[in-house]
Amino acid sequence: MTESFRVMQIGFGSLGRHISSTILKRENLELVSVVDANPDLVGKSIKVLLQSEVASEISLTDDLKGALKNVPADVALVATSSSIKTVFPTIEACLESGLDVVSICEELSFPYQKSPSIAKNLDQIAKKYGKTVVGTGINPGYLMDLLPIVLTGPCQTVNTIHVTRHMNSSHRRPSFQKKIGTGMTKEEFRKNIDEGRITGHVGLVESIQMIDAALNLGLDEIEELPPEAIIAKKRVTNSFTTIGKGDVLGLKSVGVGRKNGMQIVTLDFQAYAEASPQYDEVIIDGIPKMHQRIEGGVQGDQGTIGMLLNLIPIVINEEPGLKTMKDLPVPRNTSRFWKEN
């Protein structure tokens, strides 16, 4: 008999609500509880919050411990924060309650260098309870790390890796447009970035660290350059805001990995309103040379949800511990995978 995977979802923000509605449409997944800290949402019906036709009797709760105790689930999806320190207690509680965990927390995608003690702790807790935890997403988690790693498969030698994402951020969720400074003046952008009030893109360093570890590159320096504002040459209006001429459309963030002063890995992330053309591109200089370009780019929010949900059967069948995307079986669409009894 086939059975669906029971999913607890934690985080019902800009992306979280799309995660819920996608789960509700996916036959091999059953949404059993939704947890979020936002007091405006607590107690409200998911069906009403999503304005959805899909049948769901779930009401949103802020009581994680209660949901873990009272509603049996196989896996927890965590979409609350980019900071590993912030998501740690949530993930710890889920592992201790016997759930596998998949999170889109960017810092969890490769946490060993920035947060070694949290990484060690998570690995130990996961092993103690026989469960698996992994950080994934579209980026970090796929386009700028796992994909270039896999593309080196046929290469006899690899000299340099250059990855570019060029995306029209007007198609992304509001929280994304906000964190890349859309609509701010140049001065506000700089101040907000400097004071950490907006993060810009998070994860370039983790992506380079994953590539370095996967290919044994032996990089001696990994650096993220300060994000640069991309400025509007004319007034632009999108569904998020109106951006005046001279104000900020979005940003360019570059991460580099060097060895003996040579730039080996370059990740060039550009996200701004009305960027055109959109594409994701990997160029590997080696033997043979590899040049792969996804025309139109991968829609980041859809791709993130796809990565997250597709990992559920993979993580449930994985050996216990903290894993990264380079450690897991080949990612794939798993919408036709069912729970084994």
Ligand X SMILES: NC(=O)c1ccc[n+]([C@@H]2O[C@H](COP(=O)([O-])OP(=O)(O)OC[C@H]3O[C@@H](n4cnc5c(N)ncnc54)[C@H](OP(=O)(O)O)[C@@H]3O)[C@@H](O)[C@H]2O)c1
Residues lying near ligand X in the complex (CB under 6 A) are found at: 10-16, 35-38, 79-82, 90, 104, 106, 137-141, 173, 175, 304
Nearer to ligand X, 143 or 236 (CB): 143
Encoded tokens for 47 = 């069906």
Apex 68 CA angle, 66 and 71, nearest 5: 90
Q: Tell the smallest beta-carbon distance from residue 18 to ligand X (Å).
A: 8
- Distance between CA atoms of residues 186 and 248, nearest Å: 6
In angstroms, what is the minimal distance from the CB of 115 to ligand X? 15
Q: How far is the CB of 172 from ligand X (least distance, A)?
A: 9
141 vs 257, which CB is nearer to ligand X? 141
**Helix, strand, coil share of the chain (percent; to 5):** 30, 30, 40
Alpha helices by DSSP H, listed for the chain, are 16-25, 46-50, 64-70, 84-96, 116-128, 146-151, 174-179, 186-194, 204-215, 300-316
Closest residue (Cβ) to ligand X?
A: 13
Q: What is the smallest separation between the CB atom of 46 and ligand X, expressed in angstroms? A: 13
Q: By C-beta, is 39 or 261 nearer to ligand X?
A: 39
Q: Which two tokens stand for residue 9?
A: 């979802």
Q: Give 71 or 155: the residue with its C-beta nearer to ligand X.
A: 71
State in angstroms the smallest separation of the CB of 180 from ligand X: 11
C-alpha span between 223 and 121 (Å, rounded): 26
- Which residue, 266 or 299, has its beta carbon nearer to ligand X? 299
Provide the token pair at 271.
Answer: 């996200």
